Chain A
């Protein structure tokens, strides 16, 4: 099981966070890949369609929209899809507690902090910590280490 990339963009397709864990194997330009993902996902009705999309020979997308932001994970084709929705949800919950009612602007201006949250939760594309309390406490400590 592993996450190939985590991507977060808004309804207009402007990227807010992007993290590749596996080198972008499709030889195409990264920006093209992102644009393609955006087109695939934004055209879906998120209430009535499933949150999984087969994307390439190796990757499927698991995504969820929170307010104006889409959180997308590119995961291995053989993986258990539903658990990644829980991954995304936990990530968003932690962002929410960490920033205190998170909004898109928090992530735009403090992207490096958002990456810090991501890196405490995932390591090399694998989930490393699942307890929200542990994460929040740890992030609090790290945040003070300025």
Chain B
């Protein structure tokens, strides 16, 4: 039996125990099929079986080019079964670019005029998915003939669909298409057109309208407009008839009457009104009111709870905004989208519709900002959605609607959100949010918040400052340190001294006595000590935490701490603050400590620190009056912001890039992002931060090129989180891929290589997170592959046993 041979092949593939077994079976069959197909005397049934096997190979992702001609030959057979398989194989194996398509012209030509309607239908199906410009021109008359003469609704709907495809391939065909035939014969014939035929009509209209250019001759345009005048009311009344409560069971999709056709009709009408507006066709545009009424009616009557209804409603809102219809309709559109964001009681959590609603709202918020404002609560509630893409979008939208009026409320909301995602346990609480994702959310929020802080009126400056410190306390350890400059500028520019100093004093008090303050808070405190020490010392307070000695000690402590961690930025800040502080205090012991801080760096291996130390020492030794002149507080600082037109899409791009990076694609998109004309904002987003090896990590493998370290982030019962650090010792490494395996009792979630698996320079680190859940001893097998600049592609493999178990 012929069929069983295919069956046994599939069975063999499925039964293969190992990948190698499977490969050998597949390769063997592939070779066999290849030889068999070359044999001209092979009986038809055998030929069919071999083509079927070829198709199975295609599904498996094997090479099948050798069989392409054979597939086409099979179409030439007289038998229906041969033709059917031949057409299927041709459709799957060939694509529109191939020269082989010309071989099809004659066969399609014959089959389109075949007496057997099933064969005609196969030929139409093929022409619909595989056509080139030449095929379109050559075969269009045949297709039109089928459309004109066929009484079979199956052939009619297919012919219409194919006409639409051919017009898209060769736009000049729209000039010869008899549009009048649609109105006079198809839509108003005695037979009611089926829904399939309606779909076909919509496709043809859309194809014609979307391909109208200025090159289409005037008479054709006039003819089209004339026909549209007749067609538009026909489409409107069909659409209106679908919006009924009396559902026909054949078209009932979860309580909505044929949502497919509804969407198609709405979208076709959208094209009609769009083109009519461009052509200023008054006859057609006179139906605009009717269309608006119908859309309003659809919007009220369509069930919003299930996907089919949502699809129709979504299409309505898109139409409203694409055509920029009247304001009441635009507000209706916003309200439909706003409703999608609700997840009230009894309404099933539906992320799909939230996702599309947020996407559209982001696009249209500029046009109806007030209407969007009304849905603020629901937008904010989407911040806490488990889906990261919804989080990102609602955050973007939140910033888009943030203005003077709702500033206080929304800032509070966002800080609350930051507190939640900055919680170190957050990724464990919500396992689907990657730690890198929440970092991006934080960085994005903080950047935009600081920008929005300019909106604070002068009377609210103390609140602004308090919020600033609150943010700093929550996320100061996570944000990029470049952003600290923005914080400092904001602090610097606040002019209401009375409030400012009080708040600074409290902040400093808190950080000085807190050993675990985050790096962001530390930097800001250091800077404030340098700038405002004199005023702070005059501040009346019962607390004696802040005095000359304690400030100097604080700097000294951070300085010696940063020597170990080798944090250059902190050292720079400390030195400048020490210099400035020295001009503001008189206690000799404190001054001496400051001098020691500066002097101690005069032999620093880091050249810029060394230079700074030596220069500062010179200034340090100047008499006090000279020093004071040089070291006065900063003047008000004007920001020069580069306005980035692309702002709106940036976050999505960023996220998109991430999603792609996660699937280990090449870093093209990453490069795109970096090579954009560099507006200042971008530097915060480019993932160019250097990875530094944490202190208590252990070396687990070493080769000529790579050192691999592991660092336990957290190990609890049932769960362990590690980070692997790769250090490149040799020449530049690109395309580093790391695959890890754990024992069967455990599950592993492998993160992406951070910041990039490409272009890892000498002595640079990259990291990757491993989340292991399950039980047993922690063991790991790691396989690394990469391309070294000198050595070409390399692979390494090693095993490592941790001293822990979960």
Contacts and interface: CB of A to CB of B under 8 A. Distances in A.
Range of interface residues on chain B?
35 or more
A134 B250 contact: yes
Contacts of A123: 124-125, 128-129, 158, 161-162, 165
Contacts of A89: 307
Interface string A87-119: 101100000000000000000110110011001
A109 B7 contact: yes
B129 A128 contact: no
B260 A87 contact: yes
Contacts of A125: 129
Contacts of B194: 131, 134
A85 B307 contact: yes
Chain B interface SS verdict (over half): helix
A107 to B, nearest CB: 10
Interface in B88-146: 88, 91-92, 95-97, 118, 124-125, 128-129
Given A115-B88, A128-B199, A142-B118, A82 B314 contact: yes
A49 B792 CA distance: 40
A131 B129 contact: no
B56 interface: yes
Interface in A1-47: 1, 15-24, 30-31, 34, 36, 39-40, 43, 45
A86 B307 contact: yes
Interface in B305-329: 307-308, 310-311, 314-315, 318
Contacts of A127: 199, 260
The CB with the most chain B CB atoms within 10 A, among A31, A50, A109, is that of A50
Contact of A83 (B259, B390, B660): B259
Nearest to B388: A49
B353 A82 contact: yes
A13 to B, nearest CB: 11
B196 interface: yes
Contact of B88 (A1, A34, A119, A128): A119
B251 A36 contact: no
B92 A15 contact: no
Given A21-B129, A131-B250, A82 B95 contact: no
B311 A86 contact: yes
A121 B197 CA distance: 13
A145 to B, nearest CB: 6
Nearest to A52: B355
A124 B315 contact: no
A133 B125 contact: no
A123 B310 CA distance: 25
Contacts of B250: 131-134
A15 B61 contact: yes
B230 interface: no
B154 interface: yes
Nearest to A135: B196
Nearest to A36: B663
A126 B164 contact: yes
B377 to A, nearest CB: 21
B161 A124 contact: yes
B161 A126 contact: yes
Contacts of A40: 659, 662-663
Contacts of A51: 351-352
Contacts, number: 173
B432 interface: yes
B196 A48 contact: no
Interface in B350-396: 351-356, 386-387, 389-390
B204 to A, nearest CB: 11
Contact of A18 (B59, B125, B354): B59
B263 A23 contact: no
Contacts of B314: 80-83
The CB with the most chain B CB atoms within 10 A, among A87, A89, A130, A145, is that of A130
B351 to A, nearest CB: 4
Given A48-B387, A53-B659, A30 B352 contact: no
Given A124-B165, A131-B250, A83 B315 contact: yes
A54 B55 contact: no
Given A123-B162, A134-B250, A82 B307 contact: yes
Nearest to A115: B88
B387 A129 contact: no
A72 B597 CA distance: 63
Interface string B497-527: 0000000000000000000000000000000
The CB with the most chain B CB atoms within 10 A, among A43, A82, A112, is that of A82
Nearest to B318: A80
B200 interface: yes
B196 A129 contact: yes
B569 interface: no
A133 B55 CA distance: 29
B356 A81 contact: yes
Given A23-B97, A82-B307, A52 B352 contact: yes
B258 interface: yes
A90 B253 contact: yes
Contact of B162 (A17, A90, A124): A124
B208 to A, nearest CB: 15
B112 to A, nearest CB: 14
A135 B602 CA distance: 84
B785 to A, nearest CB: 15
Contacts of A36: 660, 663-665
Interface of B: 7, 10, 14, 52, 55-56, 58-61, 80-81, 84-85, 88, 91-92, 95-97, 118, 124-125, 128-129, 154, 157-158, 161-162, 164-165, 194-196, 199-200, 203, 206, 250-251, 253, 258-261, 263-264, 267, 307-308, 310-311, 314-315, 318, 349, 351-356, 386-387, 389-390, 432, 652, 656, 659-660, 662-665
Given A36-B665, A48-B432, 9 more contacts: A1-B267, A54-B659, A81-B356, A82-B356, A129-B199, A130-B195, A131-B196, A134-B250, A138-B154
10 contacts: A36-B665, A48-B386, A82-B352, A82-B353, A83-B263, A86-B259, A89-B307, A112-B88, A127-B260, A130-B195
Interface of A: 1, 15-24, 30-31, 34, 36, 39-40, 43, 45, 48-54, 80-83, 85-87, 89-90, 108-109, 111-112, 115-116, 119, 123-134, 138, 142, 145-146
CB-CB nearest 3 A-B residue pairs: A124-B128, A82-B311, A83-B311
